[in-house]
Homo-oligomer: A and B are copies of this chain.
Amino acid sequence: MAESPRRAAGRRLLLPLLCLFFQGATAILFAVFVRYNHETDAALWHWGNHSNAANEFYFRYPSFQDVHVMIFVGFGFLMAFLQRYGFSSVGFTFFLAAFALQWSTLIQGFLHAFHGGHIHVGVESMINADFCAGAVLISFGAILGKTGPAQLLLMALLEVVLFGVNEFVLLSLLGVRDAGGSMTIHTFGAYFGLVLSRVLYRPRLEKSKHRQGSVYHSDLFAMIGTIFLWIFWPSFNSAPTSLGDGQHRTALNTYYSLTASTLSTFALSALVSRDGRLDMVHIQNAALAGGVVVGTSSEMMLTPFGALAAGFLAGTVSTLGYKFFTPILESKFKVQDTCGVHNLHGMPGILGALLGVLVAGLATHEAYGDGLENVFPLIAEGQRSATSQAMHQLFGLFVTLMFASVGGGLGGLLLKLPCLDYPSDSQCYEDQVYWEHEDTAQEPLRVEEPDTQA
C-alpha cells in the first residue's frame, strides 16, 4: 500500500503503545482502588453467615451472561453486514468492549460504588460495565468503517467517562428511572456517535461507496447479531431492575414490545419498498427498536398492551427512518451514519424516554401497591408526585442529549488529532487496512489520492 513511511511507522506503534499504556494504567488503578464486594469476597461473605442461595450471583448472573452475548456477539455481528469490514466489525467490537469494561468499572465505581476509598465489584458492576460498553458500541456504529482502532480507543476513553457522569447525574442526582437505558445507553450512545460522525464528515466518502453495501453471506452474519440481540433484549432491560416482580415484568414487557416491532418492521419494509420486497437493513435493525423503546418503561406497569403499542410504534419509526431520514441526515446534516444508529437507537431512545415520562406520570399507589417502593422510591416515600417524577424524567432526556452532543463534539476534535492514524476516503469500510489476510479471492485494495479528513 502506498503510504508514507511516517504514517506506516505511526500505525505500527501507536495502537500497541496506547493499548499497553491504557492497560497498564487501568491495572494500577485496579490495584489501588478495586476490591471484591461483600458477595465476592471469601471473608466478607462468610462473615455474614449468609445462605449461599441469597448471593446476588444467582439472581443476576444468567441475565448478565445474556447481556454479555448481546454486547460481543450481538453488536459485533450486527455490524458485520459490510462486505469487506467483518473482521473490523467483530474484532474492534471485541477490542473496544474489552477496554470499556475495565475503564467503566473504574469510572462507574468512582461515581456509584466508592466507599472507604475503594470500588467494590461484583455481578452488578459487571452488568453496568457491559451497559457502558453497549453505549460505546452504539457510537462505534455511527462511525463504522471510517476510523482506525487507535481513534476508537480514544473515543472509548472519553465516552466511558461522559457516560458515567451522565448516568450519575440522571440516576443519582435527578432520581430518574432508566433501567434498560433508553436514555443513558441508547440516546446517549447514538447522539454521541452522530455528533462525532458530523465532526468527522467526509465529503468524498463516495470513493468507498462500492464497499458500503453487503454481500449475501455478510447479511447472514449480521442476522446472527440481530437475532441474538432480539432474543436477549428482555434480559438486557431486566438485568439491573429490582428482584422478583421487577425483573419478571421487565422481561415480559420487553418480549412483547419486540414481537410488535418485528411485525411493524416487516409491514413497513414491504410497504415502503418499490416492489413490496423486504429490505435486510430494516429487518436487521428496525426489528430491534422494540427493545430500545421500552428501555425506560419496561420495569414500570406499562401493561402488555402498552408494550405492544410501544414496540409497534418504534418498529414503524425506525423503518421509516432508514428509508427516508438516513439519506437526509447525510445530505442535509452532513452526518454519515454507517449503521443507522439514529434509527435504531436515537429516535427509539428518545421515544423510550418520552414513554417513560408518560408511564411515570401515570404511576399510582393502586397500580403499584407496595411495589411502588421498588420502581419509584421517591414517589413511594412521598418526596415526589408522579407528575414531578415525569418532569424529572423529561429533564433527564435533555441532560442526556446535552452530554451526548458536547461529548460527541469533543470526541470528534480528539479523533482529529494529527498524530492519529485514520483511513483515507478510499480505504473506508476495508479490513485490509488493519488486518493481515491473504485471501486472494477478494478484490485488491484500490489506493487513491490523499484523503479529505486531514
Verify if A439 is at the interface (C-beta below 8 Å from B): yes
Interface of A is mostly: helix
Partner-binding segment picked from A67-75, A163-171, A352-360, A400-408:
A67-75
Verify A40–B279 contact, CB threshold 8 A: no
Verify if A258 is at the interface (C-beta below 8 Å from B): yes
Q: With A27-B312, A30-B308 in contact, is A42–B221 under 8 Å at CB?
A: no
Verify B372–A40 contact, CB threshold 8 A: no
Q: How far is the CB of A8 from chain B (nearest CB, A)?
A: 6
Verify if A395 is at the interface (C-beta below 8 Å from B): no
Verify if A19 is at the interface (C-beta below 8 Å from B): yes
Which of B86, B248, B256, B270 has a CB less than 8 Å from the CB of A57? Answer: B248
Verify if A203 is at the interface (C-beta below 8 Å from B): no
Enumerate 12 A-B pairs (CB-CB under 8 Å) in ascending A order: A13-B271, A15-B267, A19-B264, A43-B371, A53-B59, A58-B58, A65-B235, A76-B223, A91-B223, A91-B278, A98-B262, A273-B436
A 430-441 to B, binary, CB cutoff 8 A, 1 in contact else 0:
000111111101
Q: How far is the CB of A248 from chain B (nearest CB, A)?
A: 4
Verify B12–A276 contact, CB threshold 8 A: yes
Q: With A244-B50, A252-B36, A304-B34 in contact, is A435–B213 under 8 Å at CB?
A: no
Verify B95–A262 contact, CB threshold 8 A: yes
Q: How far is the CB of A22 from chain B (nearest CB, A)?
A: 7
A residues 408-454 near B (Cβ < 8 Å) are: 433-439, 441-442
